[in-house]
Amino acid sequence: MKHILLSLLSVLTIQYGVGQSNTCNDAATDTPIVADVLYTVNPFFGDPSPSNCSETAQSIGDGLWYRYVPDGDYQLIINTDLPQNTGRDPRVHVLTGTCGSLSCAGGDDDGGNQFLAVATLNVFQGNTYYIVWDNRWQNSNPFDFILSEGPIPPPPPVTPVTFTTQSVANPTGSSSRGLVDMNGDFLDDIITIQSSSVNISYQLAAGGFNYQSITDITFRPPDNEGDPQPTTVRYLPTWSLAAGDWDANGYNDLLYGGNSGVTFMKASSNGAAYTEISGPEYVFSQRSHFVDINNDGDLDAFVCHDVEPNVYYLNDGSDNLQFFQGPNPNGVPSGLGNLSSGGNYGTIWIDYNNDGLLDMFIAKCRGGEVSAKINELWRNKGMNAQGKYEYEEVGGNPGVNLRDPMQTWSGAWADFDNDGYMDVFVGASSLSDGPSKLMRNNGDGTFTDFTSGAGFDLGLTSIENIAADFDNDGNVDILFSGGIYFGNGDLTFNYFNASMPSVGGVGDANNDGFLDVYSGAYFRNNGNDNNWVKITTVGKGYETNGLSNRNGIGARVEISTGSGINEKIQIRDVRSGEGFKFMGSLNTHFGIGQATSINYIKIKWPSGIVDQINDPDINTHHIVEEASFTLSVEDTLVDNLILYPNPTKDYLNLNFNNLLYNGNYSVIDLSGKLILNAQLSANKIDVSNIANGIYFLSVTSEGKTQTQRFIKQ
């Protein structure tokens, strides 16, 4: 704005002290200030602004108040970007209303050269505005400012949704990490961790929160005999927080990924107290997860290790988590990211090839020309003959194209084009080894680079990259540092960063079906008129052998809207832990745009069971227990799946002419226990290692399941 104003300066009168007040009430009766007059601010000693209306979050200093009453509707520019102000650092808040009841209308800290403020806002005749200068950054230098009035410009493109920053009772600070249910009512709660407390704003069904700081914590025993009993947790979630009900008591437990180790906080039987479990193992934690790695119905945990092979904690179902690192015949024989120097930053568990088995992607980062920075994709090969799940790294296989050296801290996985397969946006945290990438899943295990023309600003970097549908239009968006790429459903995106949330945990803090964000501040999504549906997946493995983990983590949820050529199918994986640092909702959320009905919700559980709810209510939070809407075995029973022999001693030969890509098979005994579960690799299944008896063989491919009884002799 400098150029406009310089020519005016010679004819301006400099007004010292005019209209300058120390309080709102004084300003309300003082002479209002006007455009095109240079005012000098000096000194500061008045009331601070009641709100921070600027882009910087630092606390508000002493203020100096001016009143401004426009005589028409204008775009008002409050400018300090003047030569005489060089080196100064003013901050301004513009509020409207009456004293004691003011709300932000505009503000700025660094909009001009260097640290000079230039606030631009639309003002309307009949309103009173208070311009409050803030002494946050400087205290002795006087500075000048000038107002200019111009026509109101055409509005910027309409944001698909807007967000409002809401205050919550949680302590502020860097331990603000979670937006996920903690008290078993499936409403997302706001979690802030401190060393001696778990601080939760419990969402109330009626709206609002009930804040509790839980200090009833049984800390770990002392390290050495004679040491005092610890009164703080060993590791804070400095690098990540994950939540999941690993002991299946109905209350989610927490995992703190710390600088040099991992702390588990196990919720008590009523969720009102916690027990700390902290192992001695050195873990430079990065992204963490709860996930049923060995698919035994008990939730395990996984933590990315920055400088060593990744670690995981297998749950024996009797309240014990056993630590493993790297390949281990008693754990995961293949390991899950085994490079000795690590580089593991952002893991995410997804089923990229729709075979019903959870795979894992690792976003990696490390300086230098080293293999530790090469991203990895670990494909789940299913159970081996010993009943252990085996994985293999396939990121560099022909056509997969995910073994990328870019410096990344997370990848956002979702079906951005609604073709039934999870695509990935790998976000660069630094540009030194290339910018962010969008890779389309071709549905045959390969990926193609669709970055060009997708609408990304490739000069931007982000540590947090989280896929979710923020505007409920049925197309998945990407929460990126300081903004949202709103998806168009065709692998193109529109970026909005004005008044968008910062990064954080994604969930629904006011149960309105629109996703909010929490990371120190609570960014409330103001919503629009699109429709939605939410699903809580309640696995029943804690009651019935062979069923899934209690959170349903790893389930594939699918919904269908529309019909005929307009039918739209959307998919989600239930995840504990995405992005880099935060923990979001364990509820599955879909926007459905203007659709007024949903054909079905289908849940493919990790157990292999499929529940389908036909014609569910929209704009509703459905709580679905595993096997309560199941397509019964009888519905899928056929008599021509197994060609021969039946009964069998060793092999079942299947009745397919061609191998089904992505086909998955499972063998379940009469008690419902999962005995075999793997991807079909031939038209022949080896059952020589299972005990004699009667079983069901189920083969699922492209969403269709066929089941047949067989006898093992």
Partner 1 sequence: MKPIRTITFFLFIIGLLSCSEEENYVPVEVVEEPQISPVVFDLDAVPYSTLSAYNFFDGAIVEQSPVYGVLPYDLITPLFSDYAKKKRFIWMPNDAKATFTTDDAIVDFPSGSVIIKTFYYDNVLPNLTTQIIETRLIIKKNDAYIFANYKWNEDQTEAFLDNNGSFVNVSIEKDNNPFEINYRVPSETECRICHKSANESAIPIGPKPQNLNKLFNYTDGPKNQLQKWVDVGYLNNNIPSNINTVVDWEDEDESLELRARSYLDINCAHCHTDEAHCDYRPIRLSFSDTENAANSGICIAPEENINNALTHIISPRRNDRSVLWYRLNSIDGATMMPLISRSVKHDEGVALIEAWINSLETICE
Binding site for partner 1 (CB under 8 A): 55-58, 87, 89, 109-110, 114-115, 137, 173-174, 223, 227, 234, 236, 238-239, 258-260, 280, 282, 284, 307-308, 341, 365-370, 372, 407, 429-433, 461, 463, 481-482, 581
Cα 455 from Cα 478, distance rounded (Å): 12
Q: Which is nearer to partner 1, 256 or 514 (CB)?
A: 256
Q: Are 65 and 26 in contact (CB under 8 A)?
A: yes
Contact partners, residue 382, CB within 8 Å, separation at least 6 = 355, 357, 389, 390, 664, 677, 678, 679
- Closest distance between partner 1 and the C-beta of residue 206, in Å? 34
Q: Which is nearer to partner 1, 375 or 549 (CB)?
A: 375
- Closest distance between partner 1 and the C-beta of residue 370, in Å? 6
Q: Which is nearer to partner 1, 172 or 270 (CB)?
A: 172
Tokens for 687, please give them: 């059952």
Q: Which is nearer to partner 1, 174 or 448 (CB)?
A: 174
- Closest distance between partner 1 and the C-beta of residue 290, in Å? 20
Cα 531 from Cα 192, distance rounded (Å): 31
Q: Which is nearer to partner 1, 207 or 459 (CB)?
A: 459
Q: Which is nearer to partner 1, 308 or 558 (CB)?
A: 308
Q: Which is nearer to partner 1, 114 or 596 (CB)?
A: 114
Q: Are 531 and 472 in contact (CB under 8 A)?
A: yes
Q: Which is nearer to partner 1, 251 or 256 (CB)?
A: 256
Closest CA to 257 of 22, 583, 4: 583
Q: What is the 3-state secondary structure (H, E, C) of 84-133?
A: HHCCCCCEEEEEEEECCEEEEEEEECCCCCCCCCEEEEEECCCCCEEEEE
Cα 312 from Cα 322, distance rounded (Å): 8
Cα 221 from Cα 390, distance rounded (Å): 36
Contact partners, residue 704, CB within 8 Å, separation at least 6 = none
- Closest distance between partner 1 and the C-beta of residue 428, in Å? 9
- Closest distance between partner 1 and the C-beta of residue 407, in Å? 4
The DSSP bridge partners found for residue 587 are none
Provide the 8-state DSSP code for 83. Answer: G
- Closest distance between partner 1 and the C-beta of residue 259, in Å? 4
Cα 85 from Cα 103, distance rounded (Å): 28
- Closest distance between partner 1 and the C-beta of residue 401, in Å? 21
- Closest distance between partner 1 and the C-beta of residue 83, in Å? 13
Cα 466 from Cα 578, distance rounded (Å): 6
Q: Which is nearer to partner 1, 340 or 713 (CB)?
A: 340
Cα 678 from Cα 213, distance rounded (Å): 45
Distances (CA, A) of 315 to 298, 421, 518, 549: 6, 30, 30, 11
Q: Which is nearer to partner 1, 307 or 569 (CB)?
A: 307
- The SS3 assignment for 312 reads strand
Cα 489 from Cα 182, distance rounded (Å): 33
Cα 378 from Cα 394, distance rounded (Å): 6
- Closest distance between partner 1 and the C-beta of residue 402, in Å? 19
- Closest distance between partner 1 and the C-beta of residue 365, in Å? 7
- Closest distance between partner 1 and the C-beta of residue 209, in Å? 25
Q: Which is nearer to partner 1, 457 or 615 (CB)?
A: 457
